Structure 1
Amino acid sequence: MKESSDIEPVRDSFLPYGRQFIDQEDIQAVINVLKSDYLTTGPEIHRFEKRIAEYVGAKYAVAFSNGTAALHAACFAAGIQQDDEVITTPLTFAASANCVLYQGGNPVFADIDEQTYNLDPEEVRKKITSKTKAMIPVDFTGQPVCLDKIIEIAKEHDLVVIEDAAHALGSTYKGKKVGSISDMTMFSFHPVKQITTGEGGMITTNHKEYYEKLVQFRSHGITRDREKLMNDHGPWYYEMQHLGFNYRMTDIQAALGNSQLNKLDRFIFRRREIAIMYQKAFKDMDEVILPLQGNDGQSSWHLFILRFKSKKLFVDRKTIYTELTKQNIGVNVHYIPVYLFPYYQQLGYQQGLCPVAEKVYEEMITLPLHPSMTDEDVQDVITAVKKVIQKYSTNKGIK
């Protein structure tokens, strides 16, 4: 076997798997706020919320300091309490399950569909008990979960659907924008997402009661609404009516978000272009499995993931990962199944709980995908992947 150093890097500079795209318009938008009277909660937040709601086709949108805070608020609005169960996927960032723990509830992990990597609705059915209160399906990589079946199950069992669409701003399901379908939908504006506010999150909903709870929860559980006050000492008076948190977004963040929104469709178009280039390049390679896009949804392509077939390669995924990084290709792995973390193991979750998710995790590598990539960058990734596979393939004659 040849050593890793035998492969010369395809590029001199490092290409990250994800990266924000910031231009002068974005910078000027932030500067304008810094010169204004509002830095924290001001008009930019209300404008950003209104524009996101209009973009996805929802009645309401509530901005938060980050996506995790938004998920926590959604669990509160859904009424998640001590010992309630909430079903979610293990193949996600920890926040999708942690938000349940914050409310004293218990995350219940259902296995995934091996082709879409999203929650398998039939596996969800198996996990429902008398304690189940909600579901948190995740639109993994931007591919919408099978919402028809998820919502059907939710209606049968009177469950709240909190859609984790951190990856899926701009994705559609049966012609409708993600964010307009579930009871509540969370979007993230972390720098590697479709648009960024630095850190930030949003919940969209069509339910007024959820909207009002979300707004109050993000600001210490405080209200100034005269109609909701239990007492009224005067025009200065406000009440803390439940235990909320300081989860507010700033006007600085929202100004960046508003500027980024002007470019969102262009960003998504470029992401889809890159995904198509990858699909064409790898479609005939027997050593990898391409992501499958369902017929009902159109992804906005937050991530592009290849699965490397262990039976077609004589090295493990770790070696492939290491080789690609030596090519200056910034690959990543999304995600370690949540219940395999030490904290969750201490809570009693055990390996083997979701065998499909565990199998898929062992084979996954995330390739770079962000709108600032040039066609040359994409070709570098393709060349590096093919070089590494050719080195370690059990097949012969790879081109």
Structure 2
Amino acid sequence: MIPIAKPYLTEDEAQAAYDTILTGWITQGPKVQKFEEKFAAYTGAKYAVAVSNCTTALHLSMIVAGIGPGDEVICPSMSYIATANAIQYVGATPVFAEVQQATCNLDPIDAEKRITKNTKAILLVHQIGMPADIEAFQELCDRYNLKLIEDAACAAGSAYKGRKIGSHSELVCFSFHPRKVISTGDGGMITTNREDYYNRLKLLRQHGMSVNDRVRHEASRIIFEDHVEVGYNYRMTDIQAAVGIKQLEKLDWIVEERRKIASAYHEAFKVIDFIGLPPEEEGYFSNYQSYCIYLKPSSPIDRNTLMQELLDRGIASRRGIMNSHRETAYRDSHRSVELPISEDLQDRSIILPLYVPMREDEISLITNAFKDILIKKTIVI
């Protein structure tokens, strides 16, 4: 079976975790601080705060941005459900907006139509690693006095107009889940250029504790901590951070390898006129966290049949990106939502295997199987 994804972890990461375990400091500590410093430097942000996963990163970002009950936050429905959930966590209401057909990213024109007097922020998702138009949304937020938060769960290593994702806006949230480009097993990161956000994020991730464990450990005088506000246990461990440091060192190389695989897919599928390929316009640099193709209405084979045929040949695939408003948790409260582009993209898109290292024979097996299935369906390519 060729899997849809798998993390690229080597003996380097195993040794880093092993060495950290032997230090006796395995919870949030010096390795976490080092990982934060290196990640901030990589993205070009002033600060980075490590947390337990991207969902907790989004939750804390909502809090420091001042979003709460009665507020509305515009976001795509076409995103993993954590995007909408983070808005719900603070008592606010997710307002689902439409995406662009080509990129699967939020449409600024449709987003603007959904702004009301209760709108407090826009949660912008860089879908499957393809950067969204940050400038367009920042201009929109400036015009309407809204907060811009980036859900960059899939976008580590991607770039927008010459700068890495992570430094463009006040709050940017990343994921290190095993299906992401780099992984710490699980984990997340928030980058920010605001010192006040940075300081409060560090408090909130550790139960609002005024003095962290490392400071107390290194102190030469007795220190008693205070818990200055109700916080959360959203910490990353030093074991995870040690792995993350090694992963970060390889990130640009991993992205380069993923782009080579994407190029091979491009070349194989460009001759099939009913397949829509992921675009990459000038100024947009994708890490290809996933490779998603779209079966146009002219396709003589339906999406699910094609996925099953691939699975029968030992090739995993996934449906197009979910629509949160169609999930049971949101269906009743969003029955009036009309998002035909998002729904069509979910129903007609397929995510294909992409991981490092992926051998040429595996890529050929996938593309040849794809073409063979179509030929057997009496389609001439």
TM over 0.5: yes
Matched, 1:256 2:239: no
Match of 1:323 in 2: 309
Q: Name 1:389's counterpart in structure 2.
A: 374
Contact 1:310 1:316 in 2 (8 A): no
Amino acid in the other structure paired with 1:322 = Q
TM-score where L is the length of structure 2: 0.95
| 2:287 aligned with 1:304 | no
Pick from 339, 345, 350: which aligns with 1:360? 345
C-alpha RMSD of matched pairs (Å): 1.4
Match in the other structure for 2:274: 287
Change (3 A) 1:360 1:66: same
Distance 2:18 2:224 in 1: 34
Deviation at 1:172, TM superposition (A): 0.8
What does the per-residue CA deviation read over 1:161-213, in whole Å, with 9 as the maximum and x for residues that have no partner?
Answer: 11111111111111011101011111110111111100000000101111112
Instruction: Give the partner amino acid of 2:66.
Output: G
Paired residues for 1:61-72 under 5 Å: 61-72=48-59
Q: Give 3-state SS (helix, strand or coil) of 2:125's partner.
A: coil
2:325 equivalent in structure 1: 339
SS in 1 for 2:186: coil
SS of the residue corresponding to residue 23 of structure 2 reads: coil
Matching residue of 1:6: none
The one-letter code of the counterpart of 1:316 is D
1:61-140 alignment to 2 at 5 Å? Answer: 61-140=48-127
TM-score if structure 1 supplies the norm length? 0.91
Structure 2 residue aligned with 1:162: 149
Q: Distance in 2 between matches of 1:334 and 1:149?
A: 25
Residue 237 of structure 1 and its aligned partner are, at CA, apart by 2.8
Q: CA–CA distance in 2 between the matches of 1:124 and 1:253?
A: 37
CA contact under 8 A between 1:116 and 1:294: conserved in structure 2? no
CA deviation after TM superposition for structure 1 residue 355, in Å:
1.2
- State the partner residue of 1:16: 3
* Partner Cα separation in structure 1 for residue 22 and residue 211 of structure 2: 28
Q: Are residue 171 (structure 1) and residue 158 (structure 2) matched?
A: yes
What displacement does 1:115 show?
Answer: 0.9
**Partner residue of 1:221?**
208
Residue correspondences, number: 373
Shift of 1:340: 0.5
**5+ residue gaps, structure 1:** 1-13, 226-233
Whole-angstrom distance in 2 between the partners of 1:298 and 1:172: 5
| SS of residue paired to 1:44 | helix
Give, in angstroms, the shift of residue 235 of structure 1. 4.8
User: 1:92, 1:334 within 8 Å by CA — same for their partners in 2?
Assistant: no
* Aligned partners of 2:325 and 2:337 also within 8 Å: no
1:49–1:83 CA distance, 2 compared to 1 (3 A): same
Distance in 2 (CA, whole Å) between partners of 1:285 and 1:87 is 36
Q: What is the CA deviation profile of residues 241-297 of structure 1, one whole-angstrom value per residue up to 9, with x for unaligned ones?
A: 322110000001001101111211111110000010100111110121111112221
| CA–CA distance in structure 2, aligned partners of residues 351 and 360 of structure 1 | 19
Task: Give me the whole-angstrom Cα distance separating, in 2, the residues matched to 1:99 and 1:132.
Answer: 16
CA distance in 1, matches of 2:194, 2:74: 21
Contact 1:287 1:389 in 2 (8 A): no
SS at match of 1:62: strand
Unmatched segments (≥5 aa) in structure 2: 213-220
Indicate if the aligned counterparts of 2:53 and 2:175 stay in contact, CA closer than 8 A: yes
User: Aligned residue for 1:212?
Assistant: 199
